[in-house]
Amino acid sequence: MARRKSDSPQKAAMREMMQGYLKENDISIKSGNDVNSIMRDMMSVLLEGVLDEELNEELGYSKYDYRNKETDNSRNGHSRKTMRTSYGDMDIAIPRDRKGEYEPQLIPKYQNTVTQDMEEKIISMYAKGMTTGD
């Protein structure tokens, strides 16, 4: 698809990525519920990626870089958490560490709602082409 004049390079890349995603997964948008479902999926992927990066920072090494590990703490799977959003409920996987020292900053313990402000920030990050690693 041709880039629109007003599109930034990031927005054009996002548009292309979404078209590819919809086409590859044979998804057709017929109603607002379809849009809500896609937005929920996008948000959950981004939130899980950011939480994984938070744990990387906490532990000091990435998931597959255990040889550079300088701590006796390590990853210990994920816990499921249901978050309420304006797009509907979504399940996300919250990473854990063995010692229980990891405190998520993006979604603190016992928080179960994603605020409108956070939703807008997540959407703007996607629109700007930010990856979960960023």
Q: What is the pLDDT along the chain (134 residues), one digit of tens a residue?
A: 555 677 788 888 888 888 998 999 898 899 988 888 888 888 899 899 999 999 999 998 888 887 878 888 889 999 999 998 888 899 999 999 999 999 998 888 888 888 767 777 777 776 777 665 55
- Backbone Cα Rg of the chain: 17
The model's pLDDT over 89-126, given as tens digits with 9 standing for 90+, comes to 999 999 999 999 999 988 888 888 887 677 777 777 76
Rounded Cα–Cα distance for residues 101 and 75 (Å):
11
In angstroms, the CA 31 to CA 51 distance is: 31
The helix/strand/coil state of 26 is coil
